[in-house]
Amino acid sequence: MKTLGTMGLMIVWTSVAWAEPILVCERLDGGLSIVHPADPADAERQFARTVATVPELQGRPCQAMVDTDLPTDRAKRYAWRLKQGTVHIDPTLPDPEEPLRQKVDAIRQRLGFTPQEFRDLKDALR
């Protein structure tokens, strides 16, 4: 609690987290589509319409949840999977950027640049 001024006004500071409804659907490739409603108050109807009109989602597993149910770390978004009604990170999936990083590193080594020299060259070419 915090008292403000000489009037003896007491304000209790609270934090209320707003959880937005979302629909999580598994795509054919195993990845997830996250659907946010335009109007959270009408989320259920919007979700039903989305599943009915988006061919890639028809017949696919979908789970209504709130955005706070998603993993907080978005770095491994490619590895999110829907399992038993919750979103899990599949640690067995390789990072899709790794092959590209390996190719870039091989080119850098063939050119004889240090990592910093290569970054400087990329920055200069932008």
Q: Please give the chain's pLDDT, 126 residues, in tens.
A: 333 344 444 434 443 457 899 999 999 988 999 999 999 889 999 999 999 999 988 899 999 999 999 999 888 999 999 999 899 999 998 888 887 888 888 988 999 999 899 889 888 988
What are the domain boundaries of the chain?
Answer: 21-89, 94-126
Q: Which pTM does this prediction carry?
A: 0.63
pLDDT in tens, 32-41: 999 999 998 8
**If DSSP codes are grouped into helix, strand and coil, which group holds residue 66?**
strand
